[in-house]
Every structure is written in structure tokens, then in C-alpha cells.
């Protein structure tokens, strides 16, 4: 394995204006890297990058990674996060999601080859689909419906992994992170994922909409921990896929009650139809991350939710009305 030091490195982050991408840019800069952030702003927001607006080690380019891509100057690493990630976004932009995972990843792999840069793909636990193995290890091949509505995201990421793996066989330095459910500050006010949805509903006094009977589980990881795992993987030289995620399972129904209490809300909990192919159980086996990267999540769910709720409550009244 060949690793490198972030201090003095020049790093490209795609999807930089997104939820995870913006936190990642800050973390890389704190480690001494110069960062170029790229985003087409289809789901990302420049407001997420306002803390870096005048930073001498950060540059931003408004561009689409699925278009012809030429990058001037030296480049040491590419962290490819560009893609709609929330179900509401990828179901609303299905072809754009497929292009980001396919054409976008091909473009990033070629750029990494030309620049002799390390390519880290931000993949997802969705490559496991509705898993029949629990918890999910990196060797599990998954249970994905290739023609269901979620396939535009699931199969885009599976294809992206295939591209990245082939680039590795062709001599490009690569890494693949399979990111499980991540939450925290800067999730979009319209994000359809479970944590921001429940927080939004609770804070506005709306019913908390639990899909199915709420017995399906999620394992949540606070964004600071997810970003720490990504940085450790990037600098480790490890090339095989690595699960990055929380290990404490919580049912969706219990999560709804936990968030309602944390928000001090009296909103009722109601039940709605379960989306097609919604995973019933989701928890990573993080043995690889623990042994190879020395990584485990540090932020407990109560603390992480408190920080996330505080951020959402800081939004202006005009934004709250628009939710």
C-alpha cells in the first residue's frame, strides 16, 4: 500500500457544496491540503461553503463532472462525491444520478490516471440493497433490484465501484468507501432522508411520517465521524472497499420518538406506505475500518442529534416557512 501526507497536497473534491462534501473540504484544509471544490449545484448549496469563501487554500469551480473534464496543474487526490444522495433527489433526477455514477466516475478515473492522483470513490451502503446478510461485510455482494426506482442510485454506485476497481487494476491508485447513513448539520432543509425529515416535521409541529410499521433499522453515523473515516482511508493506501458507518442499530419508529423528544415536540407519529425496495435492516461490519484505518465512530446518537437539531433551528423564519 502507498499512502501520502495531506500536508501540501492538492486535492479535488467533487460534490463539494453538498452535505458531506462541504465538511470534507474543511477537514482536508485543516490537515494542510489545498482543495479545489467542484459542484454543479443541482443539489449542493454554496451556503454550505461560506466558511471557506475567502480561504486561501480553497477554490471553487461550478462545473458538471459528467461533461468533458480537463483539470490544469498538479493533482494528488480526487475524492468523488458528486451525485444526488437523498431519495427525493435521486428519484427526481434519475438520469442525472445515473450519469454522475457512470460518466462522472469514468471522467474522474481518467483524470486520476492522467494526473497520477489517488481516486477515492464515495460509494454507499445502497450497493448492498435490501441485504440478506446482517451485519453487512465488504465481501457481501448485495441484494439489489436492478430495475426498481431506487436502482438509479444503487446501480450507479455499483457501476462506479466497477469503474474504480478497474482503474485500480490498470495502475491508478484507488480507494472505495461504502458510506452508511450519515447525518448532521448542513443537510438540506428539503432533504428526504429520515433524520432531517423527522427533525423538520417535529420542529414545525407536523406529524412524523414513519414508513411501514417502523420496524426497519438504520445505523446512523455523525458527519464528522464519516469524514474522519474518509480522510483516514484516503491517506492509508488501502484499495479494497471499506464500510464507513455507525454500528448502533435503531428502528425508524424509535428514531422518530427520540427526535420528537429531543425537539420538545408534541407532534403525532403516523404511518405511511413503505417505499419499494426500502432496506429492512442496515448495519455495517466495520472490522476493516477498525483494523486497517484505526477508525470507529466517536459521536453518540443523542449528541449528534442535538447538534443537528440546533443547526436546523438556526435557520431563518423565511427558510422554515419554505420547508
Place of cell 404511518: 271
Q: Which residues pair with 124 in a beta bridge?
A: 179
Could you give the CA distance from residue 256 to residue 260 in angstroms, rounded to a whole number?
A: 6
- Residue 174, phi then psi, degrees to nearest 5: -135, 165
Helical packing angle, 94-101 and 103-115, nearest 10°:
20
Could you give the CA distance from residue 291 to residue 319 in angstroms, rounded to a whole number?
A: 43
Could you give the CA distance from residue 292 to residue 290 in angstroms, rounded to a whole number?
A: 6
DSSP string of 233-274?
HHHH---S-EEE----EEEHHHHHHHHHHHTT--PPEEEEPP
Under 8 Å between Cβ of 118 and 78: yes
Could you give the CA distance from residue 74 to residue 11 in angstroms, rounded to a whole number?
A: 9
DSSP single-letter state for residue 289:
I
Catalytic residue, chosen from 90, 128, 140, 153, is 153
Active site residue 183: no
Under 8 Å between Cβ of 3 and 236: yes
CB within 8 Å of 304: residues ≥ 6 apart: 183, 184, 220, 222
Could you give the CA distance from residue 294 to residue 304 in angstroms, rounded to a whole number?
A: 21
Could you give the CA distance from residue 118 to residue 45 in angstroms, rounded to a whole number?
A: 26
* Catalytic site positions: 153
Amino acid at each position: 500500500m502507498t499512502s501520502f501526507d495531506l500536508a501540501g497536497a492538492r486535492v479535488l473534491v467533487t460534490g463539494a457544496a453538498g452535505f458531506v462534501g462541504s465538511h470534507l473540504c474543511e477537514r482536508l484544509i485543516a490537515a494542510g491540503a489545498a482543495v479545489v471544490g467542484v459542484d454543479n449545484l443541482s443539489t449542493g448549496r454554496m451556503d454550505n461553503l461560506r466558511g471557506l469563501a475567502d480561504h486561501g487554500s480553497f477554490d471553487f469551480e461550478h462545473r458538471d463532472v459528467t461533461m468533458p473534464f480537463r483539470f490544469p496543474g498538479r493533482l494528488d487526490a480526487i475524492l468523488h462525491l458528486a451525485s444526488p444522495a437523498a431519495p427525493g433527489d435521486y428519484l427526481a433526477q434519475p438520469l442525472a444520478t445515473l450519469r454522475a455514477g457512470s460518466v462522472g466516475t469514468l471522467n474522474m478515473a481518467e483524470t486520476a490516471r492522467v494526473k497520477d492522483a489517488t481516486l477515492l470513490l464515495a460509494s454507499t451502503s445502497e450497493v448492498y440493497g435490501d441485504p440478506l446478510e446482517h451485519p453487512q461485510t465488504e465481501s457481501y455482494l448485495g441484494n439489489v433490484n436492478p430495475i426498481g426506482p431506487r436502482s438509479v442510485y444503487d446501480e450507479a454506485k455499483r457501476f462506479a465501484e466497477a469503474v474504480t476497481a478497474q482503474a485500480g487494476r490498470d495502475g491508478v491508485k484507488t480507494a472505495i468507501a461504502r458510506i452508511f447513513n450519515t447525518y448532521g448539520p448542513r443537510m438540506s432543509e428539503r432533504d428526504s432522508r429520515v433524520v432531517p425529515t423527522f427533525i423538520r416535521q417535529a420542529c414545525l409541529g407536523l406529524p412524523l411520517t414513519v414508513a411501514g410499521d417502523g420496524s426497519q433499522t438504520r445505523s446512523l453515523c455523525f458527519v464528522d465521524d464519516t469524514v474522519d473515516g474518509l480522510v483516514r482511508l484516503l491517506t492509508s493506501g488501502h484499495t479494497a472497499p471499506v464500510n464507513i458507518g455507525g454500528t448502533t442499530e435503531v428502528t425508524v419508529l424509535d428514531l422518530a420518538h427520540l427526535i420528537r423528544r429531543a425537539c420538545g415536540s408534541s407532534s403525532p407519529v403516523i404511518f405511511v406506505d413503505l417505499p419499494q425496495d426500502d432496506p429492512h435492516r442496515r448495519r455495517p461490519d466495520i472490522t476493516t475500518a477498525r483494523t486497517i484505518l484505526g477508525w470507529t465512530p466517536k459521536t453518540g446518537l443523542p449528541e449528534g442529534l442535538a447538534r443537528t437539531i440546533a443547526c436546523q433551528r438556526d435557520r431563518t423564519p423565511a427558510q422554515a416557512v419554505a420547508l
